Structure 1
Amino acid sequence: MGSGSASAETVDVKYRGPVDLAKFECTGELDSSVVKRVCYNAEHSYMLIRLKQVWYHYCEIDQGTVSALLAAGSKGSFYNDNIKDAATGGRFGCRDKPVPNL
C-alpha cells in the first residue's frame, strides 16, 4: 500500500475511539484535498480513512475497492461515489456490522 505498517501510532476514529495502527497497512500523506490517508487491515476487511482532519472507519470493505480508491485520479470523488454511506446505502458502514477488535 505504501509506507508499510504504522507501528506505535494511534488515531482517534469518529464513532469508535482510539485505534492502534500497528495491524494496518497505511499510506503516507496523500495528494488529495479530501482523502489524506488510508489504512487497511486485509485480514478483517477493515479500513480507516482520514478525510481532511477526521478519521472514519469502514467494515467489510474489500481490497479491490481500497486499491481502486488509491488508484483513482480523484480520490475524493471515488470515496463519495463508491464508499461513503450516502452513496452506497451503508454498504461498508460499521453501524450494523461487527467492528474488528484490533
Structure 2
Amino acid sequence: MVRTLALLLAQLAAAPIVSEMVETGDRRPVDLASFECRDINRSTVLQRVCYDPARHDLVVATGGSYARYCGVAAETVDRLLGAPSMGQFFNRHIRREAAGGRYDCSA
C-alpha cells in the first residue's frame, strides 16, 4: 500500500501543470491560470465564479456557459459571494451593468 501511494505521488509530481481554458459567450478563450475559482452549489443561477484580483476580471458560469466581466472590484465579488441570493445579486449588479456598461470587456 505504501509503495502504491509513493508511485501515485511520484506520478502526480511528474504530471505537467496545465492551465484551464474556458470559452466565453463571445467565443474568446480565457486562461484561468491567474483566477481564483469557486464552484457554487447554493445558487440555481451560478455554477462557478472565477476572479482575477490583479486584473479585476470576473468569469462566471451560468446555464453551462461562461461570461467575462471586466473592471469588477474585489468588494463587488465579495458581496456576490456573500449575498443571500447570489443569482439576484449577479443579475442586478453585474450582468445588467455589462451590456455596454461598466463591466463590458469590449468597452
TM-score interval w.r.t. the shorter chain? 0.7 to 0.9
Task: Give how far 1:89 is off.
Answer: 6.4
Look up the SS of the partner of 1:73 in the other structure: coil
State the Cα RMSD in Å. Answer: 2.0
Is the 2:37–2:49 Cα contact (8 Å) retained in structure 1? yes
Aligned in 2, Cα 1:80/1:24: closer, same or farther, shift over 3 Å?
Answer: same
The partner residue of 2:52 within 11, 20, 41 is 41
Aligned in 2, Cα 1:11/1:89: closer, same or farther, shift over 3 Å?
Answer: closer
Task: Tell me the amino acid that sits aligned with residue 61 of structure 1.
Answer: V
Identity over aligned pairs, percent: 38
Q: Determine if the alignment matches structure 1 residue 82 to structure 2 residue 99.
A: no
The separation in 2 between residues aligned to 1:65 and 1:43, in whole angstroms, is 14
Q: Determine if the alignment matches structure 1 residue 61 to structure 2 residue 72.
A: yes
Is the 2:98–2:104 Cα contact (8 Å) retained in structure 1? no
**What TM-score, normalized by structure 1, do the two folds share?**
0.78
Q: Determine if the alignment matches structure 1 residue 22 to structure 2 residue 33.
A: yes
Is the 2:97–2:104 Cα contact (8 Å) retained in structure 1? no
**What TM-score, normalized by structure 2, do the two folds share?**
0.74
Aligned in 2, Cα 1:71/1:91: closer, same or farther, shift over 3 Å?
Answer: same
Task: Tell me the amino acid that sits aligned with residue 24 of structure 1.
Answer: F
**In terms of mean alpha carbon deviation, does 64-73 or 17-26 score higher?**
17-26
Gaps of 5+ in 2: 1-17
Aligned in 2, Cα 1:44/1:16: closer, same or farther, shift over 3 Å?
Answer: farther
Task: Tell me the amino acid that sits aligned with residue 29 of structure 1.
Answer: I
Query: Residue deviations 1:45-86, cap 9 Å, x none?
Result: 111001121100001110000010010111110011111135
Gaps of 5+ in 1: 1-6, 97-102
Task: Tell me the amino acid that sits aligned with residue 20 of structure 1.
Answer: D
Task: Give how far 1:13 is off.
Answer: 1.0
Look up the SS of the partner of 1:56 in the other structure: strand
